[in-house]
Amino acid sequence: MVTVDPQQPPLLQMRSIVKQFPGARALDGVDLDVVPGEVHCLLGQNGAGKSTLIKVLAGAHQPTEGEVLVDGEVVTIANPVAALRLGVATMYQELDVVAGLTVAENVFLGHELATAGVSRRREARRRTREILARLGHPEISPHHEVGSLPAAAQQIVSMARALSHDARVIVMDEPSAVLDSDEVENLFRVVRELTAAGVAIVYISHRMEEIRAIGDRITVLKDGRTVARDLPVASTPTRELIRLMTGRSVEYAFPEGTDLPADAPVVLDVAGLSLRGAFTDVTFQVRAGEIVGLAGLVGSGRSEILETVYGARRATTGTVEVAGRRLRPGQVQAAVRAGVGLAPEERKAQGLLLDEPVYRNITLSTFGRFAKGGMLDERAERRTAQEQAEALDLRPTGVDRAIRTLSGGNQQKAMLARWLVHGCRVLLLDEPTRGVDVGARAEIYALVRRLADEGAAVVVVSSEIPEVLGLSDRVLVVSDGRVVHQGPATAIDEHAVLDLVMEGSAA
Amino acid sequence: MSEHQLSAQPPGTTPAPPAADESARVEQVAREASGRTRRGGSSGGAARILGLVVALAAICVVGAVTSGSRFASLDNLTVIVSTASIIGVVSIGMTFVITAGGIDLSVGSVLGLSSVWATTVATQTMADQYGWIVMVGCALAVGLAAGLINGVLIAYGRVVGFIATLAMLVAARGLAELIAGRRTQLVNVDSFSSTFKGDLLGVPKIVWIFAVVAVAGWFVLNRTTFGRRTIAVGGNPEAARLAGIAVKRHTMYLYALCGLTAGIAGVMMLARTGAGSSTNGTLYELDAIAAVVVGGTLLAGGRGTIVGTVLGVLIFATLTNIFVQNNLDSSVQSVVKGAIIIAAVLLQQRFTTRTPRSGT
């Protein structure tokens, strides 16, 4: 960790920032001091105002009140270009790369190297190569089209872009969300290099262990306000941080697993399932009331396994049976009809109709039930959705608002509500808590356990190994497209899982 | 919440004046806020529709001022609505395809082809024997078949909608020319003419057809599972697929439906002009797309409005009429139409940024 002298003059200050949107006050008095060379962690639940704050810093939003100071001088960040000129670069959580352009073109997007309008492509490529090498990814060629790269590599490109600006402050919004643990290490190495050179990092993450590993000081936001500032990472207990963020004091609360009756029937039976180029010979069974976790690195094939079981991808070989009946391969409708539900990894892109009201998202798989002869009974539909929303404590209440306006955790609850309405026998959850804040996580864990207790067979995929271990009854460790271990979740710990994963990929 | 606080006020107590002020203010804010949610939530489309109605009214005023009673006569209004009918029916089909995020460039050609096929010597000879239903059946079958070909190519052949229907545009027009030998084929089946020409209850029969298609279209889009699937497929095809909706099959149905409306429009064209010609319906696809987009349906998909489409069609038909009444060059007309399309889209973007939805 870089030693930071909190007494040195701050590089960036935000004072009493207020951002008023029509009908909502997103920021209501935020203070933030960032000194050179530190990793300043910004903590807060979804909806606490982190994203708005970042956008104010990046010049995408103008604050209603308050001031931003750089080097002690009040500045106006009128637009993203102004932010970059002041030395503030932002890496957004959502990938902001242009799929059709090459890596080099993306890195220098918006500040192309050019002489009299003619781009200096050779130099752009050279500098891109340098930055990528510095990021520990010399294997990414500047010539590659970004759309053809895996998500993790796209994240690297996004990071390379931030570095290409010679920024003095880099804002990183959940940079590790799509990274594997070894890539997170790489990220940390780059962050340490940057801070050693005096660059300040504003680091946003839900993962406490990352903050412990890399952070220097913490500022906590709650409901658009700074509730605690400049807490030293080393001496602030996690419990205290969670209390500040939530007003509650709960660590990840995993619900107690109940003992599975010995005669619980097998609901999901996957045998010899393979998908060329993704995974090979995957065999497992899930019984009613059981939660099975798939642990593995990004790219190990775990998401593909879920999607293939669901029929969203067509298996090369192998079978999937639900309650003894074989599903037609590559047919999502067959799976849904058999009572299988999937909460996909990319909730917004794969799960939701963002501009449609909440109730229509909840009934997206079942609206046919509210119809006679093709004619919809929207009142019955809305009532059913409303009941589920209330049962799951969906907030804000009211199922007529566009689902876009809900937080990540509540969107995820709506996804689960969809399958609750459907009455699933098998529930496939891909990264159920990505982008979900700590408070809502506990609720989702409890909900998943409740569904299992009610007789559903649940399969969970997560990048967070503690989550897989804490939530599941049984764990499958996936490495390089193969299941390398199956066993009770209580019989294995995080390190053992990591060992298995590493071993598997080395073999 | 503030209402709770207010009702919690014990009855009979008189609050201190400042508190009364405060609670009155809170109440007002709450009322405004709830009103806003209701407006924004369920009828974001209502404002849009109102805008279109105002625009149409304004255009009518312009017509009445520049052409007086020549414009504002019942006869002329009938002419306007008749002109609108054929494009209107095509636009209803187009609304579905566009709501689902697609596009159909072939509707004009398919209209022409169906009008030609329904008036060949062979078809008309059979129609003499078995009645007008043969001609209508032929026109609808041609439209449906062309739409199905589009649909299969797009849904299962994974051809981009723009390209598949562009190919159909060219091919259908060519086929119509081949069949007609570039001649105009007059309708000489009396039962057809007597059934479709003329008025019913003082309104031209083709206007009735338009009305029926529009009402049916509204109903299907807003009140049926078919309509819901259409919006879902347009809003997020991947989410629709993963929710268990048969996206490909539905896409095919949508293009088939659009082709069918082109076939219906072919019949209407025969009723109106009395002749099948390979040039029937030329450039109708562009008029239809313009009407749909001006009406407020999102070209990107996920939101569609039949009422808006009908108003869009009427706006363009009224404009055309005013230009004709004033003997203005059709080139000027095109320029104005272009400007209107841009103005409408710009206005919509400005005023309807929140909670876009279907429902009108």
Give the CA distances from residue A210 to residues A123, A184, A191, A445, B273, in Å, rounded to whole numbers and listed in that order: 35, 9, 12, 22, 75
CA atoms within 13 A on the CB side of B289: 19
User: How do residues B142-191 score in pLDDT, each as one tens digit?
Assistant: 999 999 999 999 999 999 999 999 999 999 999 999 998 878 888 888 88
Residues of chain B contacting A353 with CB distance shorter than 8 Å: 231-232, 235-236, 239-240, 302
Domain encompassing residue B324: 84-351
Question: Is the sign of the CA dihedral A187, A193, A195, A200 positive or negative?
Answer: negative
Nearest Cα neighbor of A361 from A419, A409, A308 is: A419
The mean pLDDT value for B57-72 works out to: 86
* Beta-bridge partners for A30: A17
Helix A438-453 and helix A408-422, axial crossing angle in degrees, nearest 10:
10
Higher pLDDT residue, B23 or A208? A208
The per-residue pLDDT for B14 is 40
Residue B257 has pLDDT above 60, yes or no: yes
Band of residue B6 on the pLDDT scale cut at 50, 70, 90: very low
Residue B36 near chain A (CB below 8 Å): yes
What is the pLDDT confidence band of residue B246, given thresholds at 50, 70 and 90? very high
DSSP code, position A351 = I
Closest CB to B355 among A335, A352, A355: A355
Same fold, A12-246 and A265-339+424-507: yes
With CB atoms and an 8 Å threshold, state whether A335 touches B231: no
Indicate the average pLDDT of chain B.
83
**Chain A residues inside the 8 Å CB shell of B36:** 23
> Is the pLDDT reported for residue A297 higher than 80?
no
Q: Is the CB of A356 less than 8 angstroms away from the CB of B242?
A: no
User: What Rg do the C-alpha atoms of chain B give, in angstroms?
Assistant: 24
pLDDT at residue number A3: 53
What mean pLDDT comes out for the span B121-143?
Answer: 89
Does B39 lie at the interface with A, CB-CB under 8 angstroms? no
Q: Which CATH superfamily is domain A12-246 in?
A: P-loop containing nucleotide triphosphate hydrolases (3.40.50.300)
- CATH code where residue B242 lies: 1.10.3470
Residue B358 has pLDDT above 60, yes or no: no
- Please give the angle made by the CA atoms of A407, A409 and A412, to the nearest 5 degrees: 110
Inter-chain contact B245–A312, Cβ cutoff 8 Å? no
Q: What confidence tens digit (pLDDT) does each residue in A445-462 have? A: 988 998 898 889 999 998
Domain total in chain B:
1
How do A317-322 and A266-275 pair as beta strands? antiparallel
Distance CA(B123)–CA(B115), nearest Å, equals: 11
**A24 or A286, higher pLDDT:** A286
Of A188-197, B38-47, B89-98, B224-233, the range with the lowest mean pLDDT is B38-47
Nearest chain A CA: its distance from B353 CA (Å): 11
- Calpha distance B257→B144 (Å, rounded): 7
For residue B220, the chain A residue with the least C-alpha distance is A375
- Residue in chain A closest to B249 (alpha carbons) equals A333
**Lowest mean pLDDT segment, chosen from A319-333, A485-499, B119-133, B238-252:** A485-499
B51 touches chain A (CB under 8 A): no
Q: pTM of this prediction?
A: 0.72
B43 is a domain residue: no
Percentage of chain A lying above the pLDDT 90 cut:
25
Checking if the pLDDT of A394 tops 50, the result is yes
Q: Taking residues A27-37, report their average pLDDT.
A: 89
| A338 in contact with chain B, both atoms CB, cutoff 8 A | no
Nearest to A312 among B226, B242, B245 (CB): B242
Top pLDDT among B29 and B336 is at B336
| B232 contacts in chain A (CB < 8 Å) | 353, 356, 364
Give A197's pLDDT tier (boundaries 50, 70, 90): confident
Q: Report, as an integer, the average pLDDT of A254-264.
A: 76
Nearest-CB residue to B243 (from A23, A364, A398): A364
Closest CA to A291 of A472, A466, A431, A142: A472
Quote the pLDDT of residue B18: 40
Model pLDDT, residue A217: 92
Percent above pLDDT 70 for chain A? 92
Q: Given a cut of 80, is residue B309 above it in pLDDT?
A: yes
State the alpha helices, DSSP H only, in chain B: 2-7, 17-42, 44-67, 74-99, 107-117, 121-130, 133-155, 161-180, 190-196, 205-223, 225-235, 237-242, 247-273, 284-295, 306-325, 330-351
pLDDT recorded at residue A382: 92
Residue extents of the structural domains in chain A? 12-246, 265-339+424-507, 347-422
Region A99-128 average pLDDT: 83
* pLDDT(A131) > 60: yes
Q: What is the pLDDT of residue B22?
A: 42
Using the Cβ of A401 and the Cβ atoms of chain B, whether some distance falls under 8 Å is answered with yes
pLDDT of residue B52 exceeding 50, the answer is yes
3-class DSSP assignment, residue A458:
strand
Q: Identify all chain B residues contacting A368, using CB atoms and an 8 Å cutoff.
A: 225
Provide the pLDDT for residue A22. Answer: 67
Candidates B225, B226, B235; nearest CB to A353: B235
Mean pLDDT for all residues in chain A: 84
pLDDT band at A24 (very low <50, low <70, confident <90, very high): low
A113-117, A361-365, B146-150, B199-203: segment of lowest average pLDDT = A113-117
Question: Which of the listed CATH numbers 1.10.40.60, 3.40.50.1580, 3.40.50.300, 3.60.15.10 matches domain A265-339+424-507?
Answer: 3.40.50.300
**Residue A492 pLDDT class (50, 70, 90 cuts):** confident
ipTM, two decimals, is 0.75
- Is residue B39 scored above 50 in pLDDT? no
Cβ pair A401:B37 closer than 8 A:
yes
Integer Cα distance of B118 and B133 in angstroms:
10
